[in-house]
């Protein structure tokens, strides 16, 4: 007979950070009805409050002050509440907080101020958090849609601008196409293992490794198709083609958020599936996991294409789009490292450190673009940076810091991220990929430092609009970038605790 499950049966306390965010979003949705149009900053503040509560809970849990619920699993294994989940939550929530801060005045001056913006942004954040906590492929799939669908809408938020609407259309069609691949992959994995639970898959992989070739190939192709589906989301080559157009067309405040959030969700789910679910899926005894070669090959292609094409870009948003493709390659390198025996945790730590650094740096860089962008979405060319150092010295200094961090210069957060990614990859003997990574980092210095050159050594009017929430967001991002770079042990001490609940 069916029993109604109680909340403690479900261990719902373990899901507190994300559940509080979902609840807060629903309240925000209702509260926004009563906020008059000319006072929408109230909605933005309420969104900040909702995110803040959730962030505080995640930090408490991550800092081991309190653990919510008992054990690592909630909803009978559907939700994994380990330290990796906490770390993903923190990154997603920090990104969302910065995303709300940069959005408010931007929406105001482009005439698209609507309360739904913040509601959809918070829903997306919940999607990212669910993806990071997924203990079942069903959750991966549904959470990916919760992440994507609001982002499709947000990309088209800047009506009636054609570029924005078309970017939403493009993002939607390619996103739906990609989820088709993802779910086909899930179906094949279900066929090979007879389950969709990641823990059960982890158990089943041992039988498959010892078993016949058919289910091995089914599992391999299933994992490959999932890589395709998630590769679209994180903008890995050859599934990157939507990125420059969508980033250029979508409102810059949305791009600042989604360039980080979609990646965090995608990589978290990729780690859950590959590193936690099937790290021991080997075709020859003693060899690394069967999916490792594919992942590092994709990583190499992504790093090469992203960095090389970025050189010829003359629009800041397009340049940062190719740069974000390139950075997806570096993170994929860390994911590939998880395929070697015993490296799953180290690779998860590298991904978390990299994404944390990338969150501050990239949101910061896009915030500077927001500051120089005109109300009609023009003036985002590289040349708009000319003379910025004279007219806005602090803004230029922050931008220079972000550019150095994206390059990976020591004493910035980007360096720490790259260091740990390369370290994990070297432990996994992926020397060729590491060499490619190092060389492409050098190449990337050209186009990042070109922007610094424009700011400091060329004449221009360097106009910028910096209302205080945007200034605050840029400051937080700059301080975060600098702090993590100068005192990396703050991050690495925290990251050392990060483990995936099973696998390894």
Partner 1 sequence: MDITIQHGVFVIFTLVTLGSALLVVTVRNLFHAALYLMLCLFGVAGLFALLTAPLLAGFQVVIYIGAIAILIIFAIMLTPQVTRVIKTTNAQWPVAIVVAVLFFVMILSVVSPLMDELGVDDWNADFTQEDADRVPDSTLTDFGESLVSRDRFVLPFEIASIMLMAALIGAVLVVSPDAILRRDESQPPPSDTSVSADTGASGD
Partner 2 sequence: MVPLWMYLVVAAALFSTGLYGVLARRNAIAILMSIELMLNAVNINLVAFWRYQKPGDVSGQVFAAFVFVVAAAEAAVGLALIIAIYRRRQSVIAEDMNLMKW
Size of the site for partner 1 (CB under 8 A): 52
- In this chain, which of 177, 217, 419, 483 binds partner 2, going by CB under 8 A? 177
Q: Is 378 in the site for partner 1 (CB under 8 A)?
A: no
Query: Closest by alpha carbon to 371, among 394, 404, 401, 405?
Result: 394
169 binds, options partner 2, partner 1, none, Cβ within 5 to 8 A by partner type = partner 2
> From residue 107, how far is each of 148, 159, 218 by CA, in Å?
21, 11, 47
CB of residue 214 to partner 1, shortest distance in Å: 5
The reply on whether position 179 binds partner 2 by CB under 8 A is yes
Q: Which is nearer to partner 2, 197 or 488 (CB)?
A: 197
C-beta of 159 vs 374, nearer to partner 2? 159
Q: Residue 389: helix, strand or coil by DSSP?
A: helix
Residue 196-225 contact track with partner 2, rule CB under 8 A, x = bound = x-----------------------------
The least distance separating partner 2 from the CB of residue 137, rounded to whole angstroms, comes to 8
Using alpha carbons, list the distances in angstroms from residue 214 to 164, 188, 208, 217, 221.
46, 11, 9, 5, 11
DSSP string, 222-290: HHHHHHHHHHHHHT-TTS-TTHHHHHHHS-HHHHHHHHHHHHHHHHHHHIIIIIIISTT--SSTTSPPT
Q: Which is nearer to partner 1, 143 or 298 (CB)?
A: 143
Task: Indicate if the alpha-carbon torsion angle 216, 221, 222, 227 is positive or negative.
Answer: positive
Which residues are 136's β-sheet partners? Answer: 197
Q: Alpha-carbon distance 477 to 482, whole Å? A: 9
CA proximity to 100, closest of 86, 76, 117? 117
Site of tokens 């009805």:
33
The one of partner 2, partner 1, none whose footprint includes residue 493, by CB under 5 to 8 A per kind, is none
* Min CB(228)–partner 2 separation in Å: 11
Return the SS3 of 47: helix
- Nearest partner of 326 among 293, 361, 364, judged by Cα: 361
- 190 is a site residue for partner 2 (CB under 8 A): yes
**CA-CA distance, 379 to 395, in Å (whole number)?**
16
Q: Is 156 near partner 1 (CB under 8 A)?
A: yes
Q: How many amino acids of this chain bind partner 2 (CB under 8 A)?
A: 36
Site string for partner 2, 40-79 (x = CB under 8 A): ----------------------------------------
- 3 lies in the binding site for partner 1 (CB under 8 A): yes
Stretch of 55-63, 73-81, 173-181, 430-438 contacting partner 2, by CB under 8 A: 173-181
Find which of partner 1, partner 2, none residue 34 binds, CB within 5 to 8 Å per kind.
partner 1
- Residue (191 or 410) nearer to partner 2, CB: 191
Q: x/- binding map, residues 230-259, to partner 2, per CB under 8 A?
A: -----------xx--x--------------
Taken as a whole, the chain contains a residue count of 504
- Long-range (24+ apart) CB contacts under 8 A made by 108-116 are 108/40, 109/375, 109/465, 110/158, 110/251, 110/375, 110/377, 111/375, 112/157, 112/158, 112/159, 112/251, 113/37, 113/40, 114/40, 114/157, 115/28, 115/32, 115/35, 115/40, 115/43, 116/32
By CB under 8 A, tell whether 443 contacts partner 2: no
One character per residue 186-215, x = contact with partner 1 (rule: CB under 8 A): --------x-----------------xxxx
Residue in 139, 363, 149 with CA at minimum distance from that of residue 261? 363
Q: Does 284 bind partner 1 (CB under 8 A)?
A: no
| In the complex, least distance from residue 121 CB atom to partner 2, rounded to whole angstroms | 16
Q: Tell me if 116 contacts partner 1 by CB under 8 A.
A: yes
Please spell the DSSP secondary structure of 162-222, one letter per residue: HHHHHHHHHHHHHHHHHHHHHHHHHHHHHHHHS--BHHHHHHHHHHHHHS-HHHHHHHHHH
Report the site for partner 1 in 53-92 (rule: CB under 8 A). 74-76, 78-79
> Looking at 21, 90, 134, 183, which residue binds partner 2 (CB under 8 A)?
183
Q: Shortest Cβ distance from residue 186 to partner 2 (Å)? A: 8
Among 14, 17, 20, 32, indicate the residue that binds partner 1 (CB under 8 A).
32
Of residues 132-161, which lie at the interface with partner 2 (CB under 8 A)? Answer: 138, 141-142, 145, 149, 152-153, 156, 159-160
Q: What is the DSSP string of 116-139?
A: HHHHHHHHHHHHHHHHHTB-BHHH
- Tell me the sheet residues that pair with 80: 73
CA atoms of 419 and 399, how far apart (whole Å): 22
For partner 1, the closer of residues 2 and 65 by Cβ is 2
Q: Is 145 in the site for partner 1 (CB under 8 A)?
A: yes
Helix, strand, coil percentages (3-state) for the chain, rounded to 5, are: 75, 0, 25
As measured in angstroms, the least distance from the Cβ of 223 to partner 1 is 13
* Alpha-carbon gap, residue 228 to 237, rounded angstroms: 10
Q: Which residues bind partner 1 (CB under 8 A)?
A: 2-3, 5, 9-10, 22, 29, 32-38, 74-76, 78-79, 111, 114-116, 119-120, 123, 126-127, 130, 136, 138-139, 141-143, 145-146, 149-150, 152-153, 156, 159-160, 194, 212-215, 217-218, 221
Q: Which residues bind partner 2 (CB under 8 A)?
A: 138, 141-142, 145, 149, 152-153, 156, 159-160, 162, 165-166, 168-170, 172-174, 176-177, 179-180, 183-184, 186-188, 190-191, 194-196, 241-242, 245
């Amino acid at each position: 007979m069916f029993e109604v499950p109680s909340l403690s049966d479900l261990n719902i306390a373990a899901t507190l950070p994300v559940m509080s965010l979902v609840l807060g979003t629903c309240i925000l949705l209702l509260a926004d009805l009563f906020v008059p149009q000319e006072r929408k900053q109230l909605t933005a503040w309420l969104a900040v409050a909702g995110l803040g509560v959730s962030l505080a809970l995640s930090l408490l849990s991550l800092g081991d002050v309190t653990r919510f619920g008992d054990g690592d699993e909630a909803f009978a294994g559907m939700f994994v509440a380990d330290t990796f989940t906490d770390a993903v939550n923190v990154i997603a929530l920090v990104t969302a907080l910065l995303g709300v801060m940069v959005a408010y005045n931007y929406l105001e001056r482009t005439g698209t101020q609507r309360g739904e913006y913040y509601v959809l942004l918070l829903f997306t954040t919940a999607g990212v958090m669910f993806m990071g906590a997924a203990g079942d492929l069903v959750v991966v799939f549904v959470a990916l849609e919760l992440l994507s669908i609001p982002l499709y809408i947000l990309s088209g938020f800047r009506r009636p601008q054609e570029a924005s609407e078309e970017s939403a259309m493009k993002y939607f069609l390619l996103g739906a196409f990609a989820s088709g691949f993802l779910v086909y992959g899930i179906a094949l994995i279900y066929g090979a293992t007879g389950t969709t639970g990641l823990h059960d898959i982890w158990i089943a992989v041992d039988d498959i490794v010892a078993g016949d070739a058919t289910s091995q190939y089914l599992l391999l192709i299933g994992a490959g198709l999932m890589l395709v589906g998630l590769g679209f989301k994180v903008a890995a080559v050859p599934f990157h083609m939507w990125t420059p157009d969508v980033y250029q067309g979508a409102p810059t405040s949305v791009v600042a958020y989604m360039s980080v959030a979609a990646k965090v969700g995608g990589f978290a789910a990729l780690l859950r599936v590959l590193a936690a679910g099937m790290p021991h899926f080997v075709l020859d005894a003693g060899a690394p996991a069967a999916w490792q070669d594919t992942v590092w090959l994709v990583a190499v292609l992504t790093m090469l294409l992203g960095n090389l094409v970025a050189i010829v870009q003359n629009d800041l948003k397009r340049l940062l789009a190719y740069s974000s493709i390139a950075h997806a390659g570096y993170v994929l390198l860390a994911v590939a490292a998880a395929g070697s025996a015993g490296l799953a945790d180290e690779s998860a730590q590298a991904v978390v450190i990299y994404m944390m650094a990338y969150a501050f740096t990239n949101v910061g860089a896009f915030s500077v673009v927001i500051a120089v962008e005109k109300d009609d979405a023009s003036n985002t060319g590289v040349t708009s940076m000319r003379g910025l150092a004279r007219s806005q010295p602090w803004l230029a200094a922050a931008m220079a810091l972000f550019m150095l961090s994206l390059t990976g210069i020591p004493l910035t957060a980007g360096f720490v991220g790259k260091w740990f990614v390369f370290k994990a990859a070297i432990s996994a003997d992926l020397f060729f990929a590491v060499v490619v990574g190092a060389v492409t980092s050098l190449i990337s210095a050209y186009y990042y430092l070109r922007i610094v050159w424009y700011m400091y050594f060329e004449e221009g009017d360097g106009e910028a609009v910096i209302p205080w929430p945007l200034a605050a967001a840029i400051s937080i991002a700059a301080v975060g970038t600098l702090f993590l770079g100068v005192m990396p042990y703050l991050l690495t001490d925290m990251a050392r605790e990060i483990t995936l609940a099973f696998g390894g």
